[in-house]
Amino acid sequence: MALLTDKVAVVTGASRGVGAATARLLAAEGARVVLCARRREGLEQAAHTLDPDGSRCLIAPADVGTLDGMKGLVDAALGRFGRIDLFINNAGAGVRKPIEETTEGEWDLMFAVNVKAVFRSLRELIPVMRRQGGGHIINVSSMASTAGQPTLGPYAASKAALNLLTESAGEELRNDNIKVSLVMPGSIATNFLARVAADRNPSPAAKPRLTPEQVAAMIVAIAA
C-alpha cells in the first residue's frame, strides 16, 4: 500500500516547480490532492498529469496572500473531501534587490505570501485538524533565512519570520496531534531562480543545487 493512501493533501503554489512536483509525488503515494495557485491554466495542466480522470484531484485557484483566498481554499478542500490531513504551504514570493531599491510594495508582497498566508492557514486549519483528530502542516522556507546575504535581505527576513512562526506553532500544537514541520531547501532550479540569476550582483547561492523533484521528495518524506 502507498504511504499516503487516501490522505487529503493540499499544496499551494502547485502549478509549477516544487509545488507541481510535490503534488505528483503525493498522488503517486496514494493521496487525494488539492492543487492551488493563482492561475487556473497551470493548475489544469498539472492536475491532468497526475490524475487524468479527476476523481482524486481538485483544482482550487486562489490567491493565498489574501484572507478570502486562504479561506476559500480550505473551504473548497473540505467541501470536496471532508477533511485535510496534510497542508503544504509552498507558495512563495521573492525579490532580489539591494534594500535601498526594494519597494514597500515588494516587501509587503513577500511578507503577505511567505508569512501572513501561513499564519492564516494555521488559523483556518487548527480547528479543522483538532476536530478530525490531527493533521500535518508543512511550511517551505529557504536556507536563505539562516544568514544575511547581499540583495536577499527582505526575502530572507520573511523566511526567517516563517521559521519562527512554524516552530512556535509546533510547540503550541504538540499535544493536539497536529504536526507543524519546516522544509529548508537551498537553491532550487525554478523560474524564481532564473529571474534572480540575471541580477547585477548574483551571489554563489543563486547557483542551482536542487531540482524541484528533489525538494518534493524531502517534503513527502516528512509527510509520510
pLDDT per position as a tens digit, 172-218: 999 999 999 999 997 766 555 444 444 444 444 455 578 999 999 99
State the pLDDT at residue 209.
Answer: 78
Residue 190: the pLDDT is 58
Task: Say whether 16 sits in a helix, a strand or coil.
Answer: coil
Q: What is the pLDDT of residue 205?
A: 45
In this prediction, residue 169 carries a pLDDT of 98
> Residue 140, SS3?
strand
Q: What is the distance, to the nearest Å, from the Cα of residue 79 to the centroid of all Cα atoms in its chain?
A: 21
Is residue 84 within 8 Å of residue 135, measured between CB atoms? yes
Expressed as residue numbers, the domain containing 101 is 8-223
What's the pLDDT score for residue 189? Answer: 67
Q: For the chain, give percent helix, strand, coil, nearest 5.
A: 55, 15, 35
pLDDT of residue 87: 98
Burial of 203 (0-12, 13-18, 19+ CB in 10 A): middle
What pTM, to 2 d.p., does this model score? 0.90
Q: Is 53 exposed, middle or buried (0-12, 13-18, 19+ CB in 10 A)?
A: exposed
pLDDT at site 198: 45
Tell the burial category of 204 from Cβ atoms under 10 Å away from its Cβ (0-12, 13-18, 19+): exposed
CATH number of the domain to which 31 belongs: 3.40.50.720
Which residue numbers are catalytic? 155
The verdict on residue 104 lying in a domain is yes
**In this predicted structure, what is the pLDDT of residue 192?**
55
Distances (CA, A) of 56 to 82, 178, 218: 13, 24, 23
- Domain assignment present for 1: no
Q: Is residue 2 part of a domain?
A: no
Q: Is residue 118 part of a domain?
A: yes
Q: Which residues of the chain have pLDDT under 50?
A: 193-205
Dist CA 8 CA 3 (whole Å) = 12
Kindly state whether residue 3 falls inside one of the protein's structural domains.
no
- Does the residue 48 lie in any domain? yes
Q: How many structural domains are present in the chain?
A: 1
Phi, psi of 35 (to 5 degrees): -105, 125
**Considering the domain boundaries, does residue 203 fall inside one?**
yes
